[in-house]
Structure 1
Amino acid sequence: MPCPCGRRAAYAHCCGALHKAFEAGQGLTAATPEALMRSRYSAFVLDLRDYLLASWHASTRPAELEAPEPGLKWLGLDVKRAAMPDADHGSVEFVARSKLGGRAHRLHEVSRFVRENGEWFYLDGELSGDLKN
């Protein structure tokens, strides 16, 4: 199966490898903020809420995530840019497209990431531009 994150790799060799490592108790193994962001998008597509919560920084993590709305379909991810101002901080600008109830939606966000003890975590994000098409 192709990876939901949009890379030209099979899921098993892309985000699936990160999800599998987490499920095996190996922690969060994403090498960069962009890799973590892509794996989080794939986790949203596949409804892997445990991975999403674990990859969310403890200081901003919600107590739980609700199940996706019935009929939600993720349509694609477009990474606009990724930056690392230093070895332990990064940001990724992306657009994620979805469809629900016959209406198309766009989530344009600049996400911030932090690395602690060798693991990358999603810290927070700032919405940008049009949210819906």
Structure 2
Amino acid sequence: MCAAMRKLFHVNRGAAEAVALLQQRDARTYIFPGHEYTAGFMTFTERILREEERANKQLSAQIQSELRFVEAQKQQYAARVAAGLPSPPSSLADEKVQNLFLRTADPSYVTRMAHKGADAVALMEYLYNACD
């Protein structure tokens, strides 16, 4: 999953600009992801948030809130898959919580994850490597 994203990123060097443009979109914009994509990224996000919580105790309440959100979303998606239903759309605001790759254009998140890399590009590379 993440290896494919890395390949796409390197094939299209404008990906960083695309993520930055996505950050400027209305948070109410809806995204219609597929089950595998959604489940994979939510599991990955849970793992990274747990690591982040251990490394950044002062942000524990914020990270716990994000974890609860991702866990609830993951349960909703799993229930829909089990029922044979399509993935529900999620808003861009939801995606920015449950898909860490979208957050690499958010300066506050880059700062929050500074222990993983000095800038957005380093953070994106860390996430690519951590995802595989």
Structure with greater contact order relative to length (CA < 8 Å, sep ≥ 6): 2
TM-score, normalised on structure 2? 0.24
Q: What TM-score does the superposition give when structure 1 sets the normalisation length?
A: 0.24
Q: Which has the higher strand share?
A: 1
* Larger helix proportion of the pair: 2
